[in-house]
Amino acid sequence: MDSDAALILDIKSGSKTALGKLVERHKKLAYRLALGLVGNKDDAYDISQEAFMRIYRSAKTYDSSQPFMPWFYTIIANLCRTWLRRRSSQERRMVSVDDVGYLLAATDNPESSLVKQESVECLRKALMELPFDDREIITLQHFRGMSYDEIARLLGIPRGTVMSRLYYARKKLARLMRHYYD
């Protein structure tokens, strides 16, 4: 199997086959990252597609001595930031409970399932009210399951900064969640 760096090298020389392999390898990750950051499945799909187009157009700027994933994540995060800036508060569309169904544990009890769905809906709303940087750090740690060290490498920040940002982001999220339950 070709490494990501090898595929980027092939993309630099114009290979659409290499781009196809890279898309197949990372399309689910790109979509889930975008979904966690923008909160809408259709927009997340568009953003993830645009991220791969950006890779194709800017492959020449990729430094093969650096890991692929932080570069790729930066492209996705920047697209999400741009999209969120453009989106007005009246146009804001949210993720439906089905879109975050992977957060729900399976249960045979309909009442329990409904309570969990309502909790997920409150969590989704609260997450979308957080500033981008807070939503980003929570999404990476809690919904992508990344360790502090993985997040630090991905974002290019020290581990202690990850821990600090996560601490304050959780406090903000808890405050917002209390608002929905009051």
CATH of the domain at 29: 1.10.1740.10
Count up the domains in the chain and report the number: 2
Report which of residues 58 and 117 the model is more confident about. 58
Neighbours of 94 (CB within 10 A): 15
**Would residue 103 count as lying in a domain?**
no
List the domain range (segments joined by +) for residue 137: 109-182
CATH of the domain at 179: 1.10.10.10
Question: Which region among 86-95, 110-119, 150-159 has the lowest average model confidence (pLDDT)?
Answer: 86-95
**Would residue 99 count as lying in a domain?**
no
Name the nearest CA neighbour of 162 among 170, 152, 172: 152
Query: How far is residue 67's CA from residue 62's CA, in Å, rounded to a whole number?
Result: 10
- Same domain for 75 and 29: yes
Query: How far is residue 173's CA from residue 123's CA, in Å, rounded to a whole number?
Result: 8
**Would residue 146 count as lying in a domain?**
yes
Average pLDDT on 110-118 reads: 65
Assess whether pLDDT exceeds 50 at residue 1.
Answer: yes
Tell me if 161 sits within 8 A of 140, measured CB to CB.
no
Q: pTM of the prediction?
A: 0.73
Helix locations, 13-99, DSSP H: 16-38, 41-58, 68-86
Q: Which pLDDT band, with edges at 50, 70 and 90, does 161 fall under?
A: very high
- Same domain for 171 and 119: yes
